[in-house]
Every structure is written in C-alpha cells, then in structure tokens.
Amino acid sequence: MSYAERMLVWWDRDVDQAGRRIRPDVRLAGHEIWECACKRTRAAVGEHAPAAELLESAVAQVSRYLDRIGAPLSPRKHALLMVAFSRTLRRYAAKSLRLHFVGDELSSSIADERWISGIYPRLQMEDIIRKLSARNGTVLMLRAAGYEWKEIAPLVGSSVPAVRNGFWREINQIRHNA
C-alpha cells in the first residue's frame, strides 16, 4: 500500500481542548466520516495529515453547538459534522495558500500586496501584444518603455505618421473585434 493510499487513524477523545465533554453521537459521526474527511483534506491541500486536527476541531464545534441548543442524542449527525468539517477545511486551505516559505522563514504574502496592483495591467498589455502584428507589438513595447514616435520610426524603418497611424488603426480594429 503506497503512502497516498494509507489512511490515518483518528485519535478520538472524550473531551475537547478546553476540557468540555464531547457528545457520543458526534464522536460516532466523526468515526463514520473519517475516511471521507481524509480524502477531502488530501484533495484540498495535497496531504491528509491535517485531517485529524481539522476533524477534532469540527467535532468539538458541533458538540458545543448541539449542547447549546439542547438537541437530543441521535445517530444522524453526519451531515452537520461534514458541513462543519468542510468549512474548517476550506478555511485551513485558504490560509495555507497565503503562506509560503521565503528562505528559511515562513512568510505571508498578505503582508505586502502592492505587487497585485501591477499584475492586471501587465496581463492586459500581454494580451494586446499577442493580438497585434509583430511590428505593432514591437511599437507598443517601445512606447511602454518610454520611446517617442520619432525614435520608434527609424527602428521599424518607416515615417512617424505611418508608424503612428498604422499602430492606432490596428488598435481600433482590436477594440472593434472585442
């Protein structure tokens, strides 16, 4: 059996981290959804190791909720527990996507999101360049780099009005076709 096919064992406890008693019906539901929880965790984050901690958290949360509303003991708590587990897993997966290693330190990309503001304009520029002819793609890159029309014309072997008019004619065609 390969590592990916092995199922972890969930260590069930009678009490949560705060020492509150966990309902037996919720614990039973936890055992019954354990395999599905492992598979979902592996699909969401690439490994099933966090499944035990996430399920433990979800079991404690559902147990507290059912005690708070005074729900009677019932063996049918699977759906409620799976919803709580899925929500916990979704939060865990989102958080783990925001974290990445930088050198020897764990860093959060949330700390500095200024780089995001430059991505969309760059993607738009690349899309426009792909739609332009090779010549006008070069003209656009040169204009974006700060070159004047009179500097670009000799580089592409044409006059300033011919380069400028040809460029804008093609840009208008792209706008019209979009």
What DSSP line would sit under 4-63, residue for residue? GG--PPP---SB-TTSPBPPHHHHHHHHHHHHHHHHHHHHHHS-STTHHHHHHHHHHHHH
Tokens standing for residue 152: 């670009």
* Residue 78: predicted pLDDT: 80
The pLDDT of residue 14 is 81
pLDDT reported for residue 4:
46
Angle, nearest 10°, between helix axes 134-144 and 160-177? 100
Least confident of 5-9, 101-105, 165-169: 101-105
Average pLDDT over residues 106-126: 65
> What's the pTM?
0.52
DSSP state of 108: E
Domain ranges of the chain: 3-100, 116-177
Alpha helices, DSSP H, located in 46-148: 51-69, 78-98, 116-131, 134-144
Residue 167 confidence class, pLDDT cut points 50, 70, 90: very high
Give the pLDDT mean for 133-141: 90
50 is written with which tokens? 């966090």
Q: How large is the average pLDDT for residues 57-74?
A: 89
What is the distance between the alpha carbons of residues 139 and 121, in angstroms, rounded to a whole number? 17
- Angle subtended by helix axes 116-131 and 160-177, to nearest 10: 100
Architecture of the domain defined by 116-177: Orthogonal Bundle (1.10)
